[in-house]
Structure 1
Amino acid sequence: MSPEEARELLPLYALGALTPEERQRVEEALKRYPELWPEARALLEIASELAAGLPPEPLPEGLEARVLRRIRRVRPSWARPLLAAAAALLLVALGYGAYFGLSWTLALGEASTRVLTLVSPEGAPVGRTVVRGDGEALVVLKAPPPPGRVYQGWGLGKGEPVPLSTFRLPLKTFRLPPEAKALAVSLEPPGGSRRPTEILGLPQP
């Protein structure tokens, strides 16, 4: 298994959603390519944080297989961050019910869904946003915020940025205001701000 192939499977590895054969191959790749370990550890931490906050509920029959089949088909150039998101959403689906996780995973294949790259002022990609046709948006960032800071979302339209909620995990959903067509993310002090103080990522197609 190449480093690229192993990296694509790391989100599912973190959730324990691989077959025994796939898991063994990923673990062999982690031994062969130690540069993959930081990303693997980050995904394991995210999965652990999400799992810690989820109350167990019965899983509808056949849901896990359907979601995993859909996740495995998401392999375009922007696949890795969205694969991580889809894997995390599978975890959410296991705890909170089928509709939330499955609807976001299926939205990746809808024509009305837009996938935008979040780029820092220096031009480096910091994450992705998925904006559905109904105005729901999903943000997937590469890492949690630094200590003492939080992320904050901003709805972008024709006027001033509209402040949205703050968040700490690198995965967050928003309902965009009607005038907003995309969103940006900033770093803020706890409690958030009325205007962005440090832009982290602006959307690009």
Structure 2
Amino acid sequence: MTPDRDDLLAYALGTLSPAEAARVEAELARDPALRAELRADLDALALLLDDLDPAAVPLPAGAEDALLARVRAEGGPVPHVAPAPLPPARPPRRWPIAVGLVAALALVFALLPRPQPDPLEAYLETPGAVERSLEADGERVGTLVRLPEGRVYVHLSRPLPPERTYQLWRIENGTPVSLGTFERGLLVTLAPGSTLAVSVEPPGGSPQPTTPPLFVQPL
């Protein structure tokens, strides 16, 4: 069952049982829209925290009378102090709630999926990496990165048509040999002098290319 808004709020505040929290976490990992809804609730809680002023701590009741009584007991003159204007009324402090909200925010943000780093940038920064442009019909469609130890990373920037995948091939004696399917990038290990090609295929790939290759690239 999909968690409702009450479930999400209870999860953010840490009031769910372990079993219920695990159920909500499983749904959050599965559903990006649900994660967005939870983030919106957390933003609202963060705004509530901003309204809590830790510097505004009221004096205990009777503090002024106690000070005057102490001065009289010590025999000193009682100074005349003009009454200070009363500060504007503020809502009561809710420190236990604030502490709970801070803890809940930290926990939930730690559990939410984080954006993954771009693998292309990571491979380009590898010592010894060599970048090569991949082009189709005079247009750049991606990047090939040659790495040490015979590794090659193929990254395509052209969007795929619906219900299609890229398939990487090694051309061996004129025959395409599949190296796997991918949507954005694929890392493979190849012998020097290999030739690569990429075609657009149905989900799961094909035994042999069913479309003309986007490019044929010797290494």
- Normalised TM-score (structure 1): 0.42
The structure, 1 or 2, with the larger RCO (C-alpha pairs under 8 Å, 6+ apart) is: 1
Larger Rg: 2
Q: Which structure dedicates a bigger proportion of its chain to helix?
A: 1
